[in-house]
Amino acid sequence: MDSDKMKIHEQCRVSPESAEATSQPLTLLDMLWLRLHPVERIFFYTLPTPLSHPPIFFSKLIPILKTSLSHTLQHFPLLAGNVLWPHHSPNPIIQYTPGDAVSLLIAQSQPHFNHPFHNSPHPASLSRCLVPHLASSHSRASVLSLQITLFPNTGFCIALSTHHAVLDGNSSTLFFKAWASLSKAIVHQNSQSSPFLSPNLLPFFDRTVIQSQCDLGLDSPHNMTKFLTRMFPNESSDARCLKFFPFPPKLEDHVRATFLLTKEDLDKLRKRALSKWDAVEKGSLSSKPPTLSSFVLTCAHVLVCIAKAFEGVESEKHKFSLRFTVDCRARLEPPIPDNYFGNCLWGLSVDVAPLDFIEEERFVVAAKSIHSKIRETLEKGVFHKPDPDSSKKEPFPIGRVKTLGIAGSNRFGVYESDFGWGKPAKVEIMSLDRGLVIGLAESKDGNGGLEVGLVLNKQVMDLFGTVFHEELSHE
């Protein structure tokens, strides 16, 4: 959908209902994401025809969404603030000052626009105008921006752009669920007075629970900064610059699609991997596990399918590096609360050589490599001392290596976010189009399956779809 097919209804700013000035420093685990692009996610909702009629939607539903957002920001005031780097501070800070607010754009699409509710491939550019811009400059960066778009007679969507250095996927989901909870309470109470927020949705802001860089023995943020500076030589190399590095969306000749893995599909993949586990010698740990997680199975399956799709289109075998993060909240000593608000992630990578995909059991090779890396990390500790030469390595592979990232999680429960008019019909991670990334979410029907979102070149996507289903038919 082009921007000229959108009608801007209102551009406004929403402040916390009442909140005092507050600030928090960024930790080592936040700094890893300081200048990377925002994380963009869209939640699509269907509505009964009367509620999706523009006069009703804008006069009845929008006030509820605004009011509940203000109530929610009272508990999450830093989201209305900015990332700053004061001269006297060794690290950037997140600062909220009364008067700060979240940018909210309210729009309406042209009639009969309903492609977002479908999983089939569609132009990647079609949904871009549904995503709000998150401002950043040399000296400051916004934390959150929002856009609500009405699809007349169909439903609406809520899109978020969030600063990854302030919050990870777990924290972003916590905020969105809190907002949905307060909105639903207002709808059911038929009153816009401040409703009660369940304790499990309240954020824990104390960043002192994260160990210091010295304690962790890591210097990856500095390596990351050097790498990104070389990657974008025309951008500011000032170590204190807060402007996002340019990761423009890949829109030309690219399509977006969602693929489903049912519980039965995952059970079949699990049986196949375990039955042939000892037939491959890949992975540093060879003992067969009692089971394999849905995450390992999904990543292995998608990695193999993407490799075959690229090979089929480009007639060239690539080395792939799969990069993913692990949530460290339960893995630190002592563990920190599940509702810790900030980044508590650490990255892992698995390299798979081109010849691995020629082997008959390429899926088992990939699954074993991913499982072994996770198991090794859990046994040694997330922040175990790296190899002596690791500091000389780039934080991302370079050269003829295709790096495949992972965004989202099937453990976030994104389909639980009901604002009072029903659960989401579709959830998409829009920022997948800024790289080669797999988007993961739990199946919306709650049957134990997974959704896989991708943005690929159209030819690659067409072949990927064919291989995706062919690989599931293997015994």
pLDDT tens digit string along 273-303? 999 998 876 555 568 999 999 999 999 999 9
The b-or-e profile of 300-324 (16+ CB within 10 A means b, else e) is: bbbbbbbbbbbbebeeebbbbbbbb
CB contact at 8 A, 292 and 273 = yes
Closest CA to 160 of 417, 445, 411, 456: 417
Average pLDDT of the chain is 88
How confident is residue 252, by pLDDT bands cut at 50, 70 and 90?
very high
Express each pLDDT in 349-391 by its tens digit.
898 776 665 567 889 999 999 999 998 887 877 665 555 444 4
Average pLDDT over every residue of 77-89: 96
Quote the DSSP letter at residue 11: E
How confident is residue 229, by pLDDT bands cut at 50, 70 and 90?
low
Express each pLDDT in 135-190 by its tens digit.
999 999 999 999 999 999 899 999 999 999 999 999 999 999 999 999 999 999 87
Task: Give me the sheet containing 144-151, strands edge to edge.
Answer: 6-14, 102-109, 144-151, 155-162, 39-46, 426-429
- pLDDT cut 90: percent of the chain above it: 67
Residue that wins the pLDDT comparison between 211 and 349: 349
What residues are annotated to the active site?
164, 418
Average pLDDT over every residue of 203-223: 68
CB contact at 8 A, 104 and 158 = no
Is 345 in a helix, a strand, or coil? strand
Average pLDDT over every residue of 460-464: 97
CA–CA distance, 327 with 342 (Å, rounded to integer): 11
Express each pLDDT in 399-453 by its tens digit.
568 899 999 999 999 999 999 999 999 999 999 999 999 999 999 988 999 999 9
Q: Report all structural domains of the chain as residue ranges with CATH numbers, in order of start.
A: 3-231 (3.30.559.10), 254-413+426-472 (3.30.559.10)
- pLDDT cut 70: percent of the chain above it: 85
Is 184 in a helix, a strand, or coil? helix
Average pLDDT over every residue of 443-464: 96
Q: What confidence score (pLDDT) does residue 401 get? A: 82
Q: What confidence score (pLDDT) does residue 392 get? A: 46
Q: What confidence score (pLDDT) does residue 355 get? A: 60
How confident is residue 35, by pLDDT bands cut at 50, 70 and 90?
very high
Q: What confidence score (pLDDT) does residue 104 get? A: 98
Q: What confidence score (pLDDT) does residue 279 get? A: 81
Residue with tokens 């000749």: 253
Output the CA–CA distances (angstroms, integers) from residue 129 to 6, 8, 253, in the order listed: 8, 11, 17
pLDDT at 74 over 80: yes
CA–CA distance, 455 with 446 (Å, rounded to integer): 24
